[in-house]
Amino acid sequence: MGENPASKVYVSSKIAACEKLGLASIQVTPAATITTEELLAVVEELNRRDDVDGILVQLPLPPQVDAKKILDAVDPAKDVDGFHPMNVGHLVAGRPTLVSCTPAGVMEILKRSGIAVEGANAVVLGRSDIVGKPMALLLMHANATVTICHSNTRDLAETTRRGDIVVAAMGRAAMVTPEYIRAGATVIDVGINRVTDAAQAAKYFANFPERLAGFQAKGSTLVGDVHPEVANVAGAITPVPGGVGPLTIAMLMSNTVKAARLRATSDGRLRSEAKKIPVAATAKN
């Protein structure tokens, strides 16, 4: 909704991914003045449409809109972002259906990079509903020993140093410095923070002349929640940009295909069962 520049970039990337894969996509862009009730009506209409398999609500929403009400209104079978309480409950129970895209993408990165998760000590920095909590659950279901840290964690650096795998999702630019990471650990940087201050850029990229030159040319750059110097300590690390972000979109596409298949299977089963209802029993009812 509205004219949020970051949202426009994310939506454009998602539409481009759909086009590349041959998936149809529909962009609905209500005015920034929309009310919660008006937006609920939009979501309900998409819920009813049989030609729509997946619905995502691009966050953030305008301040006058109740985001939780909107997200809860999405049909769980079409919730390709994996935010609905029903889908979160399935994940908690170890029976995941549609899983939050960023944590699912992190698990794919670990799997395809040959990083052992089973038996590993994993530290998740952040406890958001979108990344931190589902990330911890996915790691736990993969048999890692998981510690969740947040802004009130005592001696955060010491706790983080115990991790064989560290997932940073606190939303604080370059917060995780080398003293947070033990040598050889795997570091997944989920953060995306825009830097526009020259002094900050000089601080973050003092030993990375190419990144600093890029900032000076454009006047801004992106940095994760992990300080660039951590690359000198970690055994493996995801870059920002170009690390977790593309996997998030890939998992959104995967969820869309999964949702379509699940809905087709469910609808087919229901139609088949409906044909088996005896006429007499139907009449009696």
Catalytic site residues? 14, 58, 81
Backbone angles phi, psi at 142, to 5 degrees: -90, 10
- Express the helix, strand and coil content of the chain in percent, nearest 5 each: 50, 10, 40
**CB within 8 A of 1, min separation 6: which ones?**
29, 30, 31, 32, 34, 39, 58, 61, 62, 65
Determine if residue 94 is left, alpha or beta; phi over 0 gives left, psi from -120 to 50 gives alpha, anything else beta: left
Determine if residue 165 is left, alpha or beta; phi over 0 gives left, psi from -120 to 50 gives alpha, anything else beta: beta
For residues 134 and 104, what is the distance between their CA atoms, to the nearest angstrom?
9
Tokens of 260: 């379509």
Distances (CA, A) of 12 to 16, 36, 53, 170, 219: 6, 24, 19, 25, 23
Q: Which of 173, 153, 152 is closest to 163 using CA atoms? A: 153
